[in-house]
Amino acid sequence: MGQLPTVSPAEDKAMARAIELAARGLGTTSPNPVVGCVLLDSAGHVVGEGFHAYAGGPHAEIVALAQAGEKARGGTAVVTLEPCNHTGRTGPCVQALIRAGVSRVVIAVDDPNPLAAGGEQTLRDAGVEVLTGVRTAEAEEGNIAWLTSVRRGRPYVIWKTASTLDGRSAAADGTSMWITSEAARMDVHRLRGTVDAIMVGVGTVLADDPRLTTRDLRTGSLAIRQPLRVVIDSQGRTPAGARVRDGAAPTLIATTALLGGDAEGRVDLRAVLSELHHRGIRSVLLEGGPRLAGAFLAAGLVDLIISYVAPKLLGDGPAALVGAGVTTITDAIDLEVLDVDRVGPDLRLTARPRVSADSGTL
């Protein structure tokens, strides 16, 4: 679909800006994608910008067109995702672009959603020049949760882990507050604010009684938007008084009675992700514990790993990962390291598994 792009420097720069704008919608647009749009007039000057801020709100193209007004006529729309071609909670963006008199549309990523796709052809049929494939890799990376959800029928799963340099998640006596620094914990709350759900196993609930909310650690106040809290709890052992039931955020207790399981009575992980997908959840932050992470990794259901490593040594204590299905070095889960950064005194390593599997249970 499409053709090899021939873009001007102004259009390329505009796409970089559109990708930057799209990121502002992370955490608030689900179940919709993040999208950014920059409008150029016929001389290549920026006359409008927009991004999709929240589900049900105006799309990026509509916001940019409203800024540009008549200056959009004869100009170029540079957008990170193929403009939608259907009427949902808002009207089709392709028709808005056509009515505005835009003569050219530059697209980063074709829409994989069959319900909304077809915008490119509709634009061409209306006499609008369309170029696709501009900064596609960057735009896909910024919209990876939604794209994964559409393509695989399940949410994008991020495993967040915190450990000492020797891979311990707690000391031998079970104490784990705090392995990482306040700067790292603040970074985790920022990360929580970009996802739709936070998931732990019932063991973590029983051991630590976490709230699993997004907070400002400077003030202690809760963020306005809270992700769904998900507890994998095959036998329904989450106490009635657990803080995940405190009403500060919505909570789903995933039991075998609710979602089914395998012969050993474990919750079917794919069933959990399928249920979350149907609820409009496009990204999940997997926070604990080590066996839950191991089950997801063994099943090939982890898309990204964000590991906070503290410059500490414990020598003993629980490992950060258990039961990932690796018994020999040749079975090691190979990772592609994407980024290594300092967060206060700690290191934050971002990586993704190179190979994905198809199924799993817990």
Which residues contact residue 70 at a Cβ distance below 8 angstroms, ignoring those fewer than 6 apart?
none
- Helical packing angle, 60-68 and 9-22, nearest 10°: 120
Q: What's residue 88's pLDDT?
A: 66
Residue 312 to residue 322: CA distance in whole angstroms: 20
pLDDT in tens, the chain (362 residues): 444 558 899 999 999 999 999 999 988 898 999 999 999 999 999 999 999 999 889 999 999 999 999 999 999 999 999 999 877 666 789 999 999 999 999 999 999 987 777 899 999 999 999 999 999 999 999 999 999 999 999 999 999 999 999 999 988 888 777 889 999 999 999 999 899 999 999 999 998 899 999 877 666 677 778 999 999 999 999 999 999 999 899 999 999 988 877 767 789 999 999 999 999 999 999 997 899 999 999 999 999 999 999 999 999 998 999 988 888 998 899 999 999 999 999 999 999 998 754 444 44
**Which CATH number does the domain 9-143 belong to among 3.40.140.10, 3.40.50.1820, 3.40.30.10, 1.20.1600.10?**
3.40.140.10
Which helix (H) or strand (E) element contains residue 253?
strand 251-254
CB atoms within 10 A of CB 2: 14
Residue 169 to residue 184: CA distance in whole angstroms: 15
Q: Where are the domains of the chain?
A: 9-143, 153-353
Nearest CA-CA partner of 185 in 176, 197, 172, 175: 176
Annotated active-site residue 61? The verdict is: yes
* 106-155 per-position pLDDT tens digit: 999 999 987 777 899 999 999 999 999 999 999 999 999 999 999 999 99
The token pair that represents 13 in the structure block: 């720069």
Q: What's residue 85's pLDDT?
A: 87
Q: What's residue 254's pLDDT?
A: 94
Percentage of residues of the chain with pLDDT beyond 90: 73
Q: What is the pTM of this model?
A: 0.88
CATH fold label, 153-353: Dihydrofolate Reductase, subunit A (3.40.430)
Q: What's residue 255's pLDDT?
A: 92
* 109, 82 Cβ separation under 8 angstroms: yes
Residue tagged active-site, from 11, 49, 61, 287? 61
